[in-house]
Amino acid sequence: MADSLPQEAVSQRILRSETVLVLALSLGASGVSALISFVGSLTKPGGLKDQAATLNSSYAPGRPWLDLAWQLFGITTALVPVALVAHLLIREGAGLRVIGFDRTRPSSDLGRGVLVAAGIGSAGLAFYLVARAAGFNLTVVPESLPDVWWKFPVLILSAIQNSVVEEVIVVGYLLRRLGQLGWTPMAALVASSVLRGSYHLYQGIGGFVGNMVMGVVFVLLYRRWQRVGPLVAAHALLDIGAFVGYALLAGKVGWLPTP
């Protein structure tokens, strides 16, 4: 019988497999999907800015209650990988508190999140407008939901879901696992940032670069604060601003691109 592997090697192999599986079930798969979508956009007649990437759309046009059921189903199931990460961290004896996703500092997390969102929001919008004008980005349509009573609550819930999934997995969980696997801080920063950019590639080169830069900033802030709470708050505020702002302003102001 062959000698068994050392426990440390087994643990490293398990951690590596676990990380790959978590990403394959969540944002890693989104990155591959975004790449395929981007290739499709590149090979389609016309420039990128003449094409649209819609983020929140109707699942059942003309049937608002069925549409609402699908919207809530999509938001809920998208959070399953976060539940899996929580389970894995609890089995490790740590839990989500180890990455700073808890209710111990709500005021501090929200305050820092507001400041980060204010700094990134204006710069991100300006970068998007420039990238689109230069032909590097599709026209991003943050929402195309019907004018029904649940429109804005669903947009807010979608923004919160996006922020929780991305910051818990791409920052807190991934950086912890890569550190346990022996990656250098710089290599982990690059991996996290490139992953964040990859699943925004469906928006175009601008979406990839802009989100990769945001990823670098978020990793540095996480290492400084040791908490993903402020990043979740910042990301949620950014997405709420984008989704709700577009719903209120699209077609009413000249500077906001529409399809």
Instruction: Please check the confidence at residue 8 and state whether its pLDDT lies above 90.
Output: no
Name the strand (E) or helix (H) holding 214. helix 205-225
Q: Cβ distance 165 to 79 under 8 Å?
A: yes
Using CB atoms within 10 Å of the CB of residue 1, give its burial: 0 to 12 exposed, 13 to 18 middle, 19+ buried: exposed
Instruction: Please check the confidence at residue 162 and state whether its pLDDT lies above 80.
Output: yes
The percentage of residues in the chain with a pLDDT greater than 70, rounded to a whole number, is 96
Q: Tell me the per-residue pLDDT of 87-112, one tens digit each, with 9 for 90 and over.
A: 999 998 889 999 999 999 999 999 99
| Cα separation, 53 vs 75, whole angstroms | 19
Give pLDDT, residue 232.
Answer: 98
Give pLDDT, residue 2.
Answer: 43
Beta-bridge partners for 53: 140
Give pLDDT, residue 189.
Answer: 98
* 3-state SS class at 54: strand
Q: Tell me the per-residue pLDDT of 112-135, one tens digit each, with 9 for 90 and over.
A: 999 999 999 999 999 999 999 999
Nearest to 167 by CA among 119, 107, 104, 238: 238
Q: Cβ distance 241 to 176 under 8 Å?
A: no
Name the strand (E) or helix (H) holding 139. strand 139-141
pLDDT, mean over the chain: 94
Q: Tell me the per-residue pLDDT of 70-91, one tens digit each, with 9 for 90 and over.
A: 999 999 999 999 999 999 999 9
Give pLDDT, residue 11.
Answer: 87
Q: Supply 125's token pair.
A: 């919008």
Instruction: Please check the confidence at residue 176 and state whether its pLDDT lies above 70.
Output: yes
Q: Cβ distance 34 to 200 under 8 Å?
A: yes
Residue 1: which pLDDT band, with cuts at 50, 70 and 90? very low
Nearest 10 degrees: Cα torsion 182, 188, 191, 193: 170
